[in-house]
C-alpha cells in the first residue's frame, strides 16, 4: 500500500472518495435489495475489510512506538477517523497516546490476574475489577481525546474552525485577520470571536481540519490529498521568500536563492513549492542540532535558469527582497564586469541593511558611501 497523503487520508478516501466503513455500509444496503448478488457483495465486503486491515498495518508502521502497542491499539478500537488522526499526529502526540496504551495494558494485566484467581472474589478483588474496568474506559478516553483535540472546544468554536477551513479551500492562503473579516461580513462568526482568538484556534486545532500555518507570519493555508491548496503560486512563493528565504551572490559570483523551513510543516511547504514551481533542488530532514529531533528543510536554486524563473515570477509580489531580486536578475544578464561587481555589492548590502553595524562594515570594506550603493540599485 503506497504512502499516505500529507493530510492523512486513507487509501479508500483518496482513491474512492469514501471510507472503508462507508463502503461496507453502502454494500450492506445494496445487499438487502439484491439477494441474488449476496455472494458477490459478501466477497466485496470481505475484500474491503482485508484492505482496511492492510491500511491499519501500514498506519502502525509509520510510527515506531505503535509497533510495540499494535495489539493494544486494536483492542482500544480505531475508527477510520482515528486512523487518519494517528497518521497525522502519531509522532507529535505520542506521549499521551503511549500513556493511554500503557494504562490499558496495565488494566488488562489486572483483569487477567483476577480471571486466574481460583477462590471466590472478596471485596478486594471486586474493587480491583471495578478499578481496572474504569482504567480501561479512562485509557480509551485519553486515546480518543488526544487524537481529536477539537472535541474539547465548544460547538461554536468548532464550527468557526470548520468555516475557516471551507474558506481556505476556495481561496488558498489567507491572513488570519482577513479570514476573520470575511467570515464576520458573512455573519457566520459569533460576535465574541475576535481575530486574535480565531487565529489562536486555527494555530492550535486547525491541523485537525487540514489547516496549517502559512509561510508568512499570521497566515494559514489548507491541505488536501494532493498537497497545499495554493491559488496564486508566485504570490505564495514571494511571501515564503520574504519571510524565510534568501537571495544572494556568492564571492565567486554565483547567484543563489532558496527557502529554509523547519519541522514537519516546513517540510510540507518546501515540497509543495518545488512541486508547484517545477524547479529547485530539495534538501530535506537535515539535523540542525544533535540534541533535538527538529529538522531543517531547504529548497535551493542553483542554475541560472531556475533562479531566473523564480525571481521573475515572485518579483511583482516581493516586499522585503525586491531590490535583491532585481539586482540578481540584472547580474545574470550583465556582461560588464564592473557593473556586475556593483550589483553584487547591492545584493550583499541590502541583505544586511537591517544590521547597521554589518552594513557600515561592508561600506568601509568597499570604500564607498551608502548613497553610492543606492544609486547602483536605482540604476537597475
Residue 288's domain spans which residues? 233-378
Q: Is residue 314 part of a domain?
A: yes
Task: Report pLDDT digits (tens) over 17-56.
Answer: 889 999 999 999 999 888 888 899 999 999 999 999 999 9
Task: Report pLDDT digits (tens) over 246-287.
Answer: 999 999 999 999 999 988 888 889 998 999 999 999 999 887
Task: Report pLDDT digits (tens) over 105-136.
Answer: 999 999 999 988 878 788 889 999 999 999 99
Q: What is the mean pLDDT of residues 140-147?
A: 97
> Does residue 305 share a domain with residue 207?
no
Q: What is the mean pLDDT of residues 178-205?
A: 94
Helix, strand, coil shares of the chain as percentages rounded to 5? 65, 10, 25
Q: Is residue 185 part of a domain?
A: yes
**Residue 345, C-alpha cell as written in the block:** 555589492
> Does residue 372 share a domain with residue 238?
yes
**Does the pLDDT at position 101 exceed 80?**
yes
The CATH code of the domain that includes 293 is: 3.10.28.10
Q: Is residue 321 part of a domain?
A: yes
Task: Report pLDDT digits (tens) over 335-376.
Answer: 999 999 999 999 999 999 999 999 999 999 999 999 999 999
Q: Using an 8 Å Cβ cutoff, are 298 and 286 in contact?
A: yes
**Does the pLDDT at position 292 exceed 70?**
no
> Does residue 302 share a domain with residue 173?
no
Long-range contacts (CB closer than 8 Å, 24 or more residues apart) made by 23-30:
23/48, 24/48, 24/49
Split into its structural domains, the chain has a count of: 2
> Does residue 294 share a domain with residue 186?
no
Residues in the chain: 380
Phi, psi for 352 (deg, rounded to 5): -110, 15
Q: Is residue 39 part of a domain?
A: no
**Residue 260, C-alpha cell as written in the block:** 529554509
Helix 233-244, helix 304-314: angle, nearest 10: 100
Give the end of a domain, one of 228, 250, 281. 228
Instruction: Count other Cβ atoms within 10 Å, centred on residue 336.
Output: 9
Residues of the chain above pLDDT 90, percent: 78
pTM of the model: 0.73
Give the end of a domain, one of 228, 260, 275. 228
Instruction: Count other Cβ atoms within 10 Å, centred on residue 62.
Output: 16
The CATH code of the domain that includes 173 is: 1.10.10
Instruction: Quickly list DSSP for 250-304.
Output: -TTS-EEEEEEEEHHHHHHHHHHHHHHHT-SEEEEEEES-TT---EEEEEEE-SH
> Does residue 346 share a domain with residue 285?
yes
> Does residue 364 share a domain with residue 308?
yes
Handedness of CA 189, 193, 199, 200 (dihedral sign): negative
SS3 9: coil
Beta strands in 143-234 (DSSP E): 174-175, 211-213, 219-224, 227-228
Q: Which pLDDT does position 291 carry in this prediction?
A: 59
> Does residue 275 share a domain with residue 187?
no
pLDDT band of residue 289 (cuts 50, 70, 90) is low
Task: Report pLDDT digits (tens) over 65-91.
Answer: 999 999 999 999 999 999 999 999 999
Q: Which pLDDT does position 283 carry in this prediction?
A: 93
> Does residue 245 share a domain with residue 186?
no
Task: Report pLDDT digits (tens) over 208-250.
Answer: 999 999 878 899 999 998 888 988 999 999 999 999 999 999 9
Q: Which pLDDT does position 75 carry in this prediction?
A: 95
Distance CA(249)–CA(256), nearest Å, equals 6
Distance CA(62)–CA(64), nearest Å, equals 7
Amino acid at each position: 500500500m503506497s504512502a499516505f497523503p500529507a493530510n492523512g487520508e486513507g487509501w479508500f478516501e483518496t482513491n474512492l472518495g469514501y471510507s472503508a466503513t462507508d463502503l461496507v455500509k453502502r454494500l450492506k444496503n445494496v445487499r438487502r435489495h439484491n439477494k441474488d448478488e449476496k455472494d458477490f457483495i459478501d466477497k466485496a465486503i470481505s475484500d474491503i475489510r482485508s484492505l482496511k486491515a492492510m491500511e491499519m498495518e501500514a498506519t502502525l508502521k509509520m510510527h515506531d512506538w505503535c509497533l510495540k502497542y499494535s495489539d493494544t491499539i486494536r483492542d482500544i478500537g480505531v475508527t477510520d477517523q482515528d486512523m487518519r488522526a494517528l497518521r497525522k499526529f502519531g509522532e507529535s502526540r505520542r506521549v499521551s497516546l503511549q500513556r493511554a496504551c500503557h494504562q490499558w495494558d496495565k488494566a488488562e494485566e489486572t483483569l487477567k490476574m483476577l480471571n486466574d484467581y481460583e477462590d471466590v472474589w472478596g471485596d478486594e478483588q471486586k474493587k480491583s475489577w471495578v478499578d481496572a474496568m474504569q482504567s480501561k474506559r479512562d485509557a480509551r478516553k485519553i486515546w480518543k481525546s488526544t487524537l481529536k483535540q477539537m472535541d474539547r472546544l465548544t460547538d461554536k468554536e468548532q464550527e468557526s474552525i470548520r468555516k475557516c477551513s471551507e474558506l481556505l479551500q476556495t481561496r488558498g492562503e489567507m491572513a488570519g485577520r482577513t479570514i476573520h473579516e470575511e467570515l464576520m461580513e458573512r455573519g457566520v462568526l459569533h460576535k465574541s470571536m475576535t481575530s486574535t482568538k480565531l487565529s489562536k484556534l486555527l494555530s492550535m486545532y486547525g491541523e485537525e481540519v487540514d489547516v496549517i500555518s502559512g509561510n508568512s507570519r499570521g497566515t494559514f493555508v489548507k491541505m488536501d490529498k494532493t498537497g497545499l491548496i495554493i491559488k496564486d503560486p508566485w504570490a505564495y512563493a514571494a511571501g515564503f521568500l520574504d519571510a524565510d528565504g534568501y537571495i544572494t551572490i556568492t564571492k565567486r559570483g554565483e547567484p543563489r536563492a532558496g527557502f529554509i523551513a523547519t519541522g514537519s510543516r516546513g517540510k510540507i511547504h518546501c515540497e509543495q513549492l518545488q512541486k508547484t514551481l517545477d524547479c529547485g533542488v530539495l534538501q530535506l530532514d537535515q539535523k540542525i542540532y544533535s540534541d533535538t529531533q527538529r529538522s531543517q528543510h531547504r529548497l535551493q536554486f542553483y542554475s541560472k535558469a531556475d533562479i531566473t524563473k523564480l525571481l521573475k515570477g515572485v518579483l511583482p509580489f516581493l516586499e522585503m527582497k525586491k531590490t535583491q531580486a532585481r539586482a540578481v536578475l540584472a547580474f545574470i544578464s550583465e556582461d560588464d564586469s564592473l557593473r556586475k561587481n556593483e550589483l553584487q555589492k547591492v545584493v550583499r548590502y541590502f541583505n544586511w541593511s537591517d544590521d547597521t553595524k554589518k552594513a557600515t562594515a561592508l561600506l568601509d570594506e568597499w570604500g564607498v558611501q551608502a548613497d553610492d550603493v543606492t544609486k547602483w540599485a536605482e540604476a537597475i
